[in-house]
Protein backbone atom coordinates (compact mmCIF):
# COMPACT_ATOMS: atom_id res chain seq x y z
CA UNK A 1 0.00 0.00 0.00
CA UNK A 2 2.83 2.38 0.89
CA UNK A 3 4.51 1.81 -2.46
CA UNK A 4 1.26 2.32 -4.36
CA UNK A 5 0.58 5.62 -2.62
CA UNK A 6 4.13 6.82 -3.26
CA UNK A 7 4.02 5.88 -6.93
CA UNK A 8 0.66 7.58 -7.43
CA UNK A 9 1.62 10.80 -5.69
CA UNK A 10 5.07 11.19 -7.19
CA UNK A 11 3.90 11.18 -10.78
CA UNK A 12 2.22 14.57 -10.78
CA UNK A 13 5.03 17.08 -10.99
CA UNK A 14 4.70 18.60 -7.55
CA UNK A 15 8.15 20.08 -7.93
CA UNK A 16 8.81 19.93 -4.19
CA UNK A 17 5.75 22.00 -3.31
CA UNK A 18 3.93 19.00 -1.89
CA UNK A 19 5.45 16.61 0.58
CA UNK A 20 5.96 13.04 -0.52
CA UNK A 21 2.88 11.65 1.18
CA UNK A 22 3.91 8.01 0.87
CA UNK A 23 6.93 8.52 3.12
CA UNK A 24 4.75 9.24 6.13
CA UNK A 25 2.54 6.17 5.80
CA UNK A 26 4.31 3.38 7.64
CA UNK A 27 3.23 -0.21 7.21
CA UNK A 28 0.16 -0.90 9.33
CA UNK A 29 0.01 2.65 10.70
CA UNK A 30 -3.41 3.06 12.25
CA UNK A 31 -5.05 0.79 9.67
CA UNK A 32 -7.76 -0.44 12.02
CA UNK A 33 -8.69 3.12 13.01
CA UNK A 34 -8.46 4.49 9.50
CA UNK A 35 -10.57 1.97 7.58
CA UNK A 36 -13.03 3.83 5.38
CA UNK A 37 -11.07 7.12 5.47
CA UNK A 38 -9.21 8.67 2.59
CA UNK A 39 -5.48 9.14 2.90
CA UNK A 40 -5.98 12.89 3.04
CA UNK A 41 -8.32 12.58 6.03
CA UNK A 42 -5.74 10.44 7.85
CA UNK A 43 -2.98 12.97 7.17
CA UNK A 44 -5.07 15.90 8.39
CA UNK A 45 -6.30 14.10 11.51
CA UNK A 46 -2.72 13.15 12.41
CA UNK A 47 -1.67 16.79 12.17
CA UNK A 48 0.68 16.25 9.22
CA UNK A 49 -1.13 18.52 6.81
CA UNK A 50 -2.82 21.91 6.80
CA UNK A 51 -5.28 21.18 4.02
CA UNK A 52 -5.73 19.67 0.58
CA UNK A 53 -5.21 21.28 -2.79
CA UNK A 54 -6.37 20.30 -6.26
CA UNK A 55 -3.87 20.24 -9.11
CA UNK A 56 -4.45 18.61 -12.49
CA UNK A 57 -7.60 17.02 -11.14
CA UNK A 58 -5.81 15.29 -8.24
CA UNK A 59 -5.83 16.05 -4.50
CA UNK A 60 -2.79 16.85 -2.36
CA UNK A 61 -2.21 17.49 1.30
CA UNK A 62 -0.66 20.93 1.75
CA UNK A 63 1.74 21.01 4.70
CA UNK A 64 2.69 23.97 6.80
CA UNK A 65 5.53 24.52 9.23
CA UNK A 66 5.04 25.02 12.94
CA UNK A 67 5.27 28.41 14.60
CA UNK A 68 9.05 28.65 14.41
CA UNK A 69 9.83 25.78 12.06
CA UNK A 70 10.32 28.01 9.03
CA UNK A 71 11.92 31.40 8.59
CA UNK A 72 13.90 33.57 11.00
CA UNK A 73 13.39 33.23 14.72
CA UNK A 74 11.14 35.82 16.34
CA UNK A 75 13.85 37.32 18.54
CA UNK A 76 12.50 38.47 21.92
CA UNK A 77 9.00 37.80 20.55
CA UNK A 78 9.02 41.28 19.02
CA UNK A 79 6.75 40.28 16.15
CA UNK A 80 4.32 38.61 18.57
CA UNK A 81 4.28 41.69 20.81
CA UNK A 82 3.76 43.95 17.80
CA UNK A 83 0.67 42.03 16.73
CA UNK A 84 -0.51 41.95 20.34
CA UNK A 85 -0.22 45.76 20.45
CA UNK A 86 -2.03 46.21 17.13
CA UNK A 87 -4.83 43.95 18.35
CA UNK A 88 -5.13 46.12 21.44
CA UNK A 89 -5.19 49.28 19.37
CA UNK A 90 -7.92 48.31 16.92
CA UNK A 91 -10.57 48.05 19.65
CA UNK A 92 -9.36 50.80 21.99
CA UNK A 93 -11.54 53.52 20.38
CA UNK A 94 -14.74 51.45 20.54
CA UNK A 95 -14.09 50.54 24.16
CA UNK A 96 -13.48 54.21 24.96
CA UNK A 97 -16.89 55.16 23.57
CA UNK A 98 -18.65 52.32 25.38
CA UNK A 99 -16.85 52.93 28.69
CA UNK A 100 -17.75 56.63 28.64
CA UNK A 101 -21.43 55.69 28.57
CA UNK A 102 -22.03 57.35 31.98
CA UNK A 103 -20.99 60.70 30.56
CA UNK A 104 -23.03 60.36 27.38
CA UNK A 105 -26.04 59.03 29.30
CA UNK A 106 -25.86 62.09 31.55
CA UNK A 107 -25.84 64.35 28.47
CA UNK A 108 -28.56 62.43 26.62
CA UNK A 109 -30.80 60.81 29.25
CA UNK A 110 -33.51 59.91 26.73
CA UNK A 111 -31.16 57.85 24.54
CA UNK A 112 -30.09 54.21 24.90
CA UNK A 113 -26.49 55.25 24.40
CA UNK A 114 -24.69 51.90 24.59
CA UNK A 115 -27.10 50.22 22.18
CA UNK A 116 -27.10 53.10 19.67
CA UNK A 117 -23.30 53.35 19.75
CA UNK A 118 -22.90 49.62 19.10
CA UNK A 119 -25.19 49.61 16.04
CA UNK A 120 -23.70 52.86 14.68
CA UNK A 121 -20.21 51.40 15.01
CA UNK A 122 -20.86 47.93 13.60
CA UNK A 123 -22.80 48.77 10.43
CA UNK A 124 -20.11 50.83 8.60
CA UNK A 125 -17.49 48.43 9.95
CA UNK A 126 -19.28 45.52 8.30
CA UNK A 127 -19.81 47.37 5.00
CA UNK A 128 -16.19 48.55 4.68
CA UNK A 129 -14.71 45.13 5.43
CA UNK A 130 -17.11 43.57 2.92
CA UNK A 131 -15.93 46.00 0.25
CA UNK A 132 -12.30 45.17 1.03
CA UNK A 133 -13.12 41.48 0.67
CA UNK A 134 -14.65 41.71 -2.80
CA UNK A 135 -12.43 44.46 -4.22
CA UNK A 136 -8.66 44.36 -4.59
CA UNK A 137 -7.68 47.94 -3.76
CA UNK A 138 -3.97 47.14 -4.18
CA UNK A 139 -3.10 49.02 -0.99
CA UNK A 140 -0.22 47.89 1.18
CA UNK A 141 -0.83 46.67 4.70
CA UNK A 142 1.03 49.74 5.95
CA UNK A 143 -1.22 52.16 4.07
CA UNK A 144 -4.40 50.43 5.21
CA UNK A 145 -3.35 50.24 8.84
CA UNK A 146 -2.02 53.81 8.89
CA UNK A 147 -5.28 55.05 7.35
CA UNK A 148 -7.37 53.18 9.89
CA UNK A 149 -5.50 54.47 12.93
CA UNK A 150 -5.47 58.02 11.55
CA UNK A 151 -9.26 57.91 11.25
CA UNK A 152 -9.40 56.58 14.81
CA UNK A 153 -7.49 59.65 15.98
CA UNK A 154 -9.85 61.98 14.13
CA UNK A 155 -12.88 60.41 15.81
CA UNK A 156 -11.34 60.30 19.28
CA UNK A 157 -10.34 63.96 19.18
CA UNK A 158 -13.69 65.02 17.71
CA UNK A 159 -15.57 64.11 20.89
CA UNK A 160 -13.71 66.59 23.16
CA UNK A 161 -13.98 69.20 20.38
CA UNK A 162 -17.74 68.68 20.17
CA UNK A 163 -17.91 68.94 23.94
CA UNK A 164 -15.94 72.20 24.08
CA UNK A 165 -17.29 73.90 20.96
CA UNK A 166 -20.93 72.83 20.88
CA UNK A 167 -22.15 71.30 24.12
CA UNK A 168 -20.98 73.77 26.75
CA UNK A 169 -23.55 73.64 29.49
CA UNK A 170 -26.36 72.05 27.50
CA UNK A 171 -26.51 69.19 25.02
CA UNK A 172 -28.74 69.29 21.94
CA UNK A 173 -30.05 66.97 19.27
CA UNK A 174 -27.34 68.23 16.93
CA UNK A 175 -24.53 67.37 19.32
CA UNK A 176 -26.00 63.88 19.72
CA UNK A 177 -26.02 63.44 15.94
CA UNK A 178 -22.42 64.65 15.69
CA UNK A 179 -21.38 62.18 18.37
CA UNK A 180 -23.13 59.25 16.68
CA UNK A 181 -21.50 60.25 13.37
CA UNK A 182 -18.08 60.16 15.08
CA UNK A 183 -18.86 56.65 16.33
CA UNK A 184 -19.87 55.59 12.80
CA UNK A 185 -16.63 56.95 11.28
CA UNK A 186 -14.74 55.11 13.99
CA UNK A 187 -16.48 51.92 12.85
CA UNK A 188 -15.40 52.65 9.28
CA UNK A 189 -11.81 52.96 10.48
CA UNK A 190 -12.15 49.65 12.31
CA UNK A 191 -13.19 47.91 9.09
CA UNK A 192 -9.99 49.10 7.42
CA UNK A 193 -7.57 48.59 10.32
CA UNK A 194 -8.88 45.44 12.00
CA UNK A 195 -9.38 43.54 8.75
CA UNK A 196 -5.86 44.42 7.63
CA UNK A 197 -4.24 43.50 10.96
CA UNK A 198 -5.95 40.10 11.05
CA UNK A 199 -5.29 39.58 7.34
CA UNK A 200 -1.56 40.18 7.66
CA UNK A 201 -1.32 38.04 10.82
CA UNK A 202 -2.97 35.15 8.97
CA UNK A 203 -0.04 35.00 6.54
CA UNK A 204 2.25 34.22 9.49
CA UNK A 205 2.00 31.16 11.79
CA UNK A 206 -1.11 30.81 13.95
CA UNK A 207 0.46 32.19 17.14
CA UNK A 208 0.47 35.68 15.62
CA UNK A 209 -3.27 35.51 14.99
CA UNK A 210 -3.66 34.50 18.63
CA UNK A 211 -1.58 37.55 19.58
CA UNK A 212 -3.99 39.85 17.75
CA UNK A 213 -7.02 38.15 19.30
CA UNK A 214 -5.59 38.44 22.82
CA UNK A 215 -4.73 42.06 22.19
CA UNK A 216 -8.31 42.90 21.25
CA UNK A 217 -9.44 41.96 24.75
CA UNK A 218 -6.68 43.89 26.54
CA UNK A 219 -8.12 47.24 25.49
CA UNK A 220 -11.40 46.31 27.16
CA UNK A 221 -9.60 45.34 30.36
CA UNK A 222 -7.50 48.53 30.44
CA UNK A 223 -10.46 50.81 29.78
CA UNK A 224 -12.59 48.97 32.36
CA UNK A 225 -9.85 49.37 34.98
CA UNK A 226 -9.63 53.07 34.12
CA UNK A 227 -13.36 53.33 34.60
CA UNK A 228 -13.14 51.74 38.04
CA UNK A 229 -10.32 54.11 39.04
CA UNK A 230 -12.02 57.24 37.72
CA UNK A 231 -15.29 56.32 39.40
CA UNK A 232 -13.50 55.76 42.70
CA UNK A 233 -11.23 58.82 42.55
CA UNK A 234 -13.14 61.42 40.51
CA UNK A 235 -16.48 62.94 41.44
CA UNK A 236 -19.41 61.64 39.42
CA UNK A 237 -21.01 65.00 38.71
CA UNK A 238 -21.00 66.41 35.17
CA UNK A 239 -17.52 67.92 35.50
CA UNK A 240 -16.09 64.70 36.91
CA UNK A 241 -17.67 62.58 34.19
CA UNK A 242 -16.25 64.95 31.59
CA UNK A 243 -12.73 64.59 33.04
CA UNK A 244 -13.08 60.81 33.07
CA UNK A 245 -14.19 60.79 29.44
CA UNK A 246 -11.25 62.95 28.41
CA UNK A 247 -8.97 60.43 30.13
CA UNK A 248 -10.50 57.46 28.27
CA UNK A 249 -10.19 59.17 24.92
CA UNK A 250 -6.72 60.51 25.70
CA UNK A 251 -5.41 57.03 26.54
CA UNK A 252 -7.06 55.54 23.44
CA UNK A 253 -5.69 58.30 21.19
CA UNK A 254 -2.17 57.97 22.58
CA UNK A 255 -2.21 54.23 22.00
CA UNK A 256 -3.40 54.71 18.41
CA UNK A 257 -0.37 56.93 17.74
CA UNK A 258 1.81 54.24 19.32
CA UNK A 259 0.27 51.61 17.00
CA UNK A 260 1.24 53.61 13.91
CA UNK A 261 4.88 53.40 15.02
CA UNK A 262 4.45 49.72 15.90
CA UNK A 263 3.27 48.92 12.37
CA UNK A 264 6.23 50.81 10.91
CA UNK A 265 8.61 48.77 13.08
CA UNK A 266 6.77 45.49 12.42
CA UNK A 267 7.25 45.79 8.66
CA UNK A 268 11.03 45.83 9.21
CA UNK A 269 11.25 42.68 11.34
CA UNK A 270 12.96 39.70 9.63
CA UNK A 271 10.28 37.18 10.60
CA UNK A 272 7.55 39.43 9.21
CA UNK A 273 9.47 40.12 6.00
CA UNK A 274 10.17 36.42 5.53
CA UNK A 275 6.56 35.33 5.69
CA UNK A 276 5.47 38.23 3.51
CA UNK A 277 8.00 37.05 0.93
CA UNK A 278 10.07 40.23 0.97
CA UNK A 279 13.71 40.56 0.07
CA UNK A 280 15.76 42.92 2.22
CA UNK A 281 15.34 46.47 1.00
CA UNK A 282 12.60 45.59 -1.49
CA UNK A 283 9.57 46.57 0.56
CA UNK A 284 8.28 49.26 -1.75
CA UNK A 285 8.42 46.99 -4.78
CA UNK A 286 6.62 44.13 -3.09
CA UNK A 287 4.22 46.48 -1.35
CA UNK A 288 3.04 43.86 1.16
CA UNK A 289 -0.13 43.54 -0.86
CA UNK A 290 0.12 39.88 -1.78
CA UNK A 291 -0.22 37.27 0.94
CA UNK A 292 0.79 34.62 -1.58
CA UNK A 293 4.28 35.97 -2.17
CA UNK A 294 7.06 33.46 -2.51
CA UNK A 295 9.57 32.65 0.20
CA UNK A 296 12.44 35.05 0.84
CA UNK A 297 14.88 35.05 -2.05
CA UNK A 298 12.46 33.29 -4.41
CA UNK A 299 10.50 34.82 -7.28
CA UNK A 300 6.85 35.60 -6.71
CA UNK A 301 4.58 33.55 -8.95
CA UNK A 302 1.29 35.25 -9.68
CA UNK A 303 -1.53 32.83 -8.91
CA UNK A 304 -5.19 33.60 -8.80
CA UNK A 305 -6.55 32.99 -5.32
CA UNK A 306 -9.74 31.14 -4.48
CA UNK A 307 -13.08 32.90 -4.64
CA UNK A 308 -15.00 33.89 -1.52
CA UNK A 309 -17.45 31.06 -2.23
CA UNK A 310 -14.65 28.50 -2.43
CA UNK A 311 -13.09 29.74 0.79
CA UNK A 312 -16.46 29.68 2.55
CA UNK A 313 -17.06 26.09 1.42
CA UNK A 314 -13.92 25.09 3.36
CA UNK A 315 -14.36 27.30 6.41
CA UNK A 316 -18.12 27.68 6.90
CA UNK A 317 -18.24 25.99 10.35
CA UNK A 318 -15.74 28.53 11.67
CA UNK A 319 -17.40 31.54 10.03
CA UNK A 320 -20.85 30.58 11.27
CA UNK A 321 -19.39 29.68 14.65
CA UNK A 322 -18.01 33.21 15.01
CA UNK A 323 -21.32 34.65 13.83
CA UNK A 324 -23.44 32.76 16.38
CA UNK A 325 -20.92 33.31 19.17
CA UNK A 326 -20.87 37.09 18.76
CA UNK A 327 -24.59 37.36 18.09
CA UNK A 328 -25.18 35.76 21.49
CA UNK A 329 -22.49 37.83 23.22
CA UNK A 330 -23.48 41.25 21.87
CA UNK A 331 -27.18 40.71 22.51
CA UNK A 332 -26.23 40.45 26.20
CA UNK A 333 -23.04 42.51 26.54
CA UNK A 334 -22.84 45.39 27.22
CA UNK A 335 -26.47 46.55 26.86
CA UNK A 336 -28.23 44.02 29.09
CA UNK A 337 -25.50 44.16 31.75
CA UNK A 338 -25.52 47.98 31.75
CA UNK A 339 -29.27 48.57 31.84
CA UNK A 340 -31.26 45.47 32.79
CA UNK A 341 -29.73 44.06 35.98
CA UNK A 342 -29.65 45.74 39.38
CA UNK A 343 -28.11 45.27 42.79
CA UNK A 344 -29.16 47.21 45.88
CA UNK A 345 -25.81 46.51 47.51
CA UNK A 346 -23.52 47.47 44.61
CA UNK A 347 -25.71 50.18 43.11
CA UNK A 348 -24.22 51.73 39.97
CA UNK A 349 -20.98 49.82 40.60
CA UNK A 350 -22.78 46.62 39.61
CA UNK A 351 -22.66 47.14 35.84
CA UNK A 352 -19.04 48.34 36.03
CA UNK A 353 -17.95 45.22 37.93
CA UNK A 354 -19.83 42.93 35.53
CA UNK A 355 -18.28 44.53 32.45
CA UNK A 356 -14.80 44.39 34.00
CA UNK A 357 -15.34 40.73 34.87
CA UNK A 358 -16.47 39.96 31.33
CA UNK A 359 -13.43 41.67 29.81
CA UNK A 360 -10.98 39.89 32.12
CA UNK A 361 -12.48 36.46 31.40
CA UNK A 362 -12.63 37.25 27.68
CA UNK A 363 -8.89 37.99 27.80
CA UNK A 364 -8.17 34.74 29.63
CA UNK A 365 -10.25 32.79 27.11
CA UNK A 366 -8.46 34.39 24.17
CA UNK A 367 -5.04 33.75 25.69
CA UNK A 368 -5.50 30.07 26.61
CA UNK A 369 -5.21 28.69 23.03
CA UNK A 370 -1.59 29.84 22.86
CA UNK A 371 -1.08 26.47 24.59
CA UNK A 372 -1.85 23.42 22.47
CA UNK A 373 -3.89 21.67 25.18
CA UNK A 374 -6.46 24.47 25.11
CA UNK A 375 -7.08 24.23 21.37
CA UNK A 376 -9.95 22.43 19.67
CA UNK A 377 -8.94 21.43 16.16
CA UNK A 378 -12.34 20.30 14.91
CA UNK A 379 -14.06 23.06 12.93
CA UNK A 380 -17.45 21.37 13.32
CA UNK A 381 -16.79 20.96 17.05
CA UNK A 382 -16.16 24.70 17.38
CA UNK A 383 -19.37 25.39 15.47
CA UNK A 384 -21.36 23.16 17.86
CA UNK A 385 -19.88 24.93 20.90
CA UNK A 386 -21.07 28.26 19.46
CA UNK A 387 -24.59 26.85 19.11
CA UNK A 388 -24.58 25.57 22.69
CA UNK A 389 -23.84 29.14 23.87
CA UNK A 390 -27.47 29.99 23.10
CA UNK A 391 -28.13 28.49 26.54
CA UNK A 392 -26.88 31.79 27.98
CA UNK A 393 -30.23 33.34 26.96
CA UNK A 394 -32.03 30.96 29.31
CA UNK A 395 -29.59 31.69 32.12
CA UNK A 396 -30.00 35.48 31.80
CA UNK A 397 -33.78 35.25 31.43
CA UNK A 398 -33.80 33.39 34.75
CA UNK A 399 -31.82 36.26 36.27
CA UNK A 400 -34.48 38.76 35.15
CA UNK A 401 -37.77 36.88 35.13
CA UNK A 402 -36.95 33.77 37.15
CA UNK A 403 -37.63 32.87 40.77
CA UNK A 404 -37.13 35.54 43.42
CA UNK A 405 -34.13 33.84 45.02
CA UNK A 406 -32.19 34.35 41.75
CA UNK A 407 -33.03 38.04 41.72
CA UNK A 408 -32.56 38.96 45.36
CA UNK A 409 -29.47 39.77 47.41
CA UNK A 410 -26.87 38.29 47.65
CA UNK A 411 -27.51 35.24 45.43
CA UNK A 412 -28.77 37.26 42.45
CA UNK A 413 -25.59 39.31 41.86
CA UNK A 414 -23.43 36.23 42.49
CA UNK A 415 -25.41 34.22 39.94
CA UNK A 416 -25.18 36.93 37.26
CA UNK A 417 -21.46 37.41 37.95
CA UNK A 418 -20.73 33.71 37.44
CA UNK A 419 -22.65 33.36 34.18
CA UNK A 420 -21.10 36.62 32.91
CA UNK A 421 -17.64 35.18 33.61
CA UNK A 422 -18.52 32.07 31.58
CA UNK A 423 -19.98 34.26 28.83
CA UNK A 424 -16.68 36.15 28.57
CA UNK A 425 -14.42 33.10 28.76
CA UNK A 426 -16.35 31.08 26.18
CA UNK A 427 -16.48 34.08 23.83
CA UNK A 428 -12.71 34.56 24.01
CA UNK A 429 -11.86 30.88 23.74
CA UNK A 430 -14.05 30.38 20.68
CA UNK A 431 -12.72 33.51 18.99
CA UNK A 432 -9.08 32.46 19.32
CA UNK A 433 -9.69 28.89 18.22
CA UNK A 434 -11.77 29.82 15.17
CA UNK A 435 -9.44 32.56 13.93
CA UNK A 436 -6.33 30.42 14.50
CA UNK A 437 -7.85 27.42 12.73
CA UNK A 438 -9.26 29.12 9.62
CA UNK A 439 -6.01 29.85 7.70
CA UNK A 440 -4.92 26.22 8.09
CA UNK A 441 -7.91 25.05 6.03
CA UNK A 442 -6.89 26.94 2.89
CA UNK A 443 -3.82 27.49 0.75
CA UNK A 444 -1.29 30.06 1.91
CA UNK A 445 -2.20 32.53 -0.83
CA UNK A 446 -5.78 32.60 0.48
CA UNK A 447 -4.85 33.11 4.14
CA UNK A 448 -5.40 36.88 4.20
CA UNK A 449 -8.76 36.73 2.45
CA UNK A 450 -9.85 33.84 4.66
CA UNK A 451 -9.08 35.68 7.88
CA UNK A 452 -10.83 38.81 6.63
CA UNK A 453 -13.86 36.66 5.81
CA UNK A 454 -13.81 35.25 9.35
CA UNK A 455 -13.64 38.77 10.80
CA UNK A 456 -16.56 39.75 8.53
CA UNK A 457 -18.68 36.94 10.00
CA UNK A 458 -17.58 38.03 13.47
CA UNK A 459 -18.72 41.58 12.73
CA UNK A 460 -21.99 40.32 11.25
CA UNK A 461 -22.59 38.50 14.52
CA UNK A 462 -21.80 41.70 16.42
CA UNK A 463 -24.29 43.61 14.28
CA UNK A 464 -27.07 41.06 14.68
CA UNK A 465 -26.33 40.76 18.40
CA UNK A 466 -26.50 44.53 18.83
CA UNK A 467 -29.91 44.58 17.14
CA UNK A 468 -31.13 41.63 19.22
CA UNK A 469 -30.05 43.53 22.33
CA UNK A 470 -32.99 45.88 21.79
CA UNK A 471 -35.38 42.97 22.44
CA UNK A 472 -34.53 43.14 26.16
CA UNK A 473 -36.35 46.49 26.21
CA UNK A 474 -39.67 44.94 25.16
Same domain for 148 and 122:
yes
Residue 28 has pLDDT above 60, yes or no: no
Question: If you average pLDDT over residues 68-72, what whole number do you get?
Answer: 57
At residue 338, the pLDDT reads: 63
pTM of the complete model beyond 0.85: no
Domain boundary among 62, 89, 107: 62
Distance CA(331)–CA(340), nearest Å, equals: 12
CA-based nearest residue to 82, from 357, 266, 276, 327: 266
Q: CA 67, 72, 78 angle in degrees (round to 5)?
A: 75
At residue 83, the pLDDT reads: 96
Same domain for 430 and 379:
yes
| CATH code for position 87 | 1.20.1250.20
At residue 68, the pLDDT reads: 40
At residue 352, the pLDDT reads: 83
Is 298 domain-assigned? no
Same domain for 143 and 14:
no
Question: If you average pLDDT over residues 165-187, what whole number do you get?
Answer: 79
E strand map for 23-88: 51-55, 58-62
pLDDT in tens, 236-282: 787 888 888 888 888 889 999 999 999 999 999 988 988 887 433 33
Is 299 domain-assigned? no
Domain boundary among 15, 30, 62: 62
Question: If you average pLDDT over residues 435-439, what whole number do you get?
Answer: 94
At residue 435, the pLDDT reads: 95
Is 220 domain-assigned? yes
Residue 428 has pLDDT above 90, yes or no: yes
Domain boundary among 62, 85, 101: 62
Same domain for 287 and 141:
yes
Residue 161 has pLDDT above 90, yes or no: no
Is 152 domain-assigned? yes
Same domain for 398 and 331:
yes
Same domain for 86 and 48:
no
pLDDT band at 108 (very low <50, low <70, confident <90, very high): confident
Q: Give percent of the chain above pLDDT 90.
A: 35
At residue 147, the pLDDT reads: 92
Is 158 domain-assigned? yes
Contacts of 419 (CB under 8 A, 6+ apart): 392, 395, 396, 399
Spatial contact of 240 and 227, defined as CB atoms under 8 Å apart: no
Is 67 domain-assigned? no
Same domain for 160 and 41:
no
Same domain for 139 and 30:
no
Is 68 domain-assigned? no
pLDDT in tens, 441-460: 988 888 889 999 999 999 99
Residue 21 has pLDDT above 60, yes or no: no
> What b-and-e string marks burial along 349-384, b requiring 16 or more CB atoms within 10 Å of the CB?
ebbbbbbbbbbbbbbbbbbbbbeeeebeeebeebbe
Same domain for 359 and 230:
yes
Number of structural domains in the chain: 2
Same domain for 341 and 279:
yes
Is 135 domain-assigned? yes
Q: Which domain holds residue 139?
A: 75-291+308-473
Same domain for 168 and 131:
yes
Residue 20 has pLDDT above 60, yes or no: no
Residue 418 has pLDDT above 90, yes or no: yes
Distance CA(51)–CA(440), nearest Å, equals: 6
Q: Average pLDDT, whole number, for the chain?
A: 78
At residue 438, the pLDDT reads: 94
pLDDT band at 36 (very low <50, low <70, confident <90, very high): very low
Same domain for 166 and 102:
yes
Amino acid sequence: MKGAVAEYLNGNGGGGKYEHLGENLDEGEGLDDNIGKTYFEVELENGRGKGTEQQDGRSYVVHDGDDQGEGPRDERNLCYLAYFSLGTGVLFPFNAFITAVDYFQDLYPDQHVDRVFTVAYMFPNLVVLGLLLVNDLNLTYNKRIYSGFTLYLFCLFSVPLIDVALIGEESTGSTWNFTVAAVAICGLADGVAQGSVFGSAAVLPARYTQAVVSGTSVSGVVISVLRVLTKALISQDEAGLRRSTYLYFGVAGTFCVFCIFVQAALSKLPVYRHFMGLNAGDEEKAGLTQSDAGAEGQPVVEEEGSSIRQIFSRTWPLGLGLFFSYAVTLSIFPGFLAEDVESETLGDWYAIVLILGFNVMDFIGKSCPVYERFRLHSAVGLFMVSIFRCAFYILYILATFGPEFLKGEPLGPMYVSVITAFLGFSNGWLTSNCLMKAPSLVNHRDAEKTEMLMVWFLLLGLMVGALLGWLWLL
